[in-house]
Amino acid sequence: MTLPSTTSEPLAAACAAALDAVHRQAPLVQCLTNHVVSGFTANMLLALGAAPAMVDIPAEAGAFAPVASGVLINLGTLGGRQPEAMREAAAAAHSAGTPWVLDPVAVGALPVRTPLAAELLGQRPTLIRGNASEIAAVAGADTAGRGVDATIDVDAVSGAAGELAGRLGAVVAVSGPVDLITDGATVVRVANGHSLLTRVTGAGCALGAVMAAFAAVTDDPLTAAVAASCAYGVAAEDAASGAAGPGSFAVALLDAVATLTPDRLADRARLEVVR
């Protein structure tokens, strides 16, 4: 991959400014997410300098979303009445203008989450984050996922992601070895990251929450998604350098996110912008 730094420098600076805004504003991020990753997700938001609020039950979820700075809806495990709470939160976020992120975990063939994801698109998510298989499924492309694993390549869904983004007026972020982020017009590739992220449960899910935090402090969702992805990737690179395996890597990732500065983010960003 060629990284034309002349093109990407303004975006790297915008990412740094967004991180600074997160630090200053400490956005309150409401998470309706799965029980597997809820603790790690909340810790990631706290490490970032944001404030998590895991308000995810009916009657409370809709009441809270207008107060929140950003909302994450992650379909990983839909226990109890969580789907109802998600409908409430998405509708309330949409009405109130609270930016919200949809993470369509393992959407495709599974019969509860797949129609729920389709329904929630009607509430106009600000951002949609997933792996290539999940984004393909949301976009209605013909693919088969294997649970939460991406079985297809990021670049293979570039067209579907752009079409989905354009149709919904949303930003679509496809996670992979190189993340692909698009609003339907511009495509950004973020080359930061580390393969150990695939060995930590909830690494992708927590990135969705980080995107909601960034979306809360910037008016441009494309910048928010790129800044989140890039900050996360730089922190992962730092964390991996001293890790003895996935356990110590996950711990170090929280430390690295907590100590990442805007300047360091700008220096280390590896972005490619295609308009």
The Cα angle at residue 274 between residues 270 and 275, in degrees rounded to 5: 140
Among 15, 19, 55, 227, binds a second copy (CB under 8 A): 55
240 binds a second copy (CB under 8 A): no
Output DSSP code: residue 23. Answer: H
List the interface residues with a second copy, window 198-227 (CB under 8 A): 198-202
Is the separation of the CB atoms in 130 and 152 below 8 Å? no
Among 5, 95, 259, 261, binds a second copy (CB under 8 A): 259
Neighbours of 57 (CB within 10 A): 15
Among residues 4, 159, 247, 267, which is the contact residue for a second copy, using CB under 8 A?
247
Site membership for a second copy, residue 147 (CB under 8 A): yes
The answer to whether 248 contacts a second copy (rule: CB under 8 A) is yes
Q: Which two tokens stand for residue 193?
A: 């990251």
Element (H, E) at 180: strand 179-182
Q: Which residues are within 8 A (CB) of 12 and not within 5 positions of it... i.e. 6 or more apart?
A: 230, 265, 266, 269, 271
Work out whether 100 is an interface residue with a second copy (CB under 8 A): no
Binds a second copy by CB under 8 A, chosen from 15, 18, 47, 168: 47
Give yes or no for residue 177 binding a second copy (CB under 8 A). Answer: no
Count interface residues toward a second copy (CB under 8 A).
Answer: 62
Name residues whose C-beta falls within 8 Å of residue 18's C-beta, 6 or more positions apart in sequence: 214, 217, 218, 223, 224, 227
> Encoding tokens for residue 227?
């800044």
Judged by beta carbon, residue 16 or residue 243, the one nearer a second copy is: 243
Should residue 119 be labelled a site residue for a second copy when binding is judged by CB under 8 A?
no
Q: Which is nearer to a second copy, 114 or 186 (CB)?
A: 114
Residue 196 in contact with residue 242, Cβ under 8 Å?
no
**Residue 115 within binding range of a second copy, rule CB under 8 A:** no
Judged by the rule CB under 8 A, the positions of this chain that interact with a second copy are: 28, 34-40, 42-43, 46-47, 51-57, 59-60, 63-64, 67, 76-82, 106, 109-113, 146-149, 198-202, 243-248, 250-259
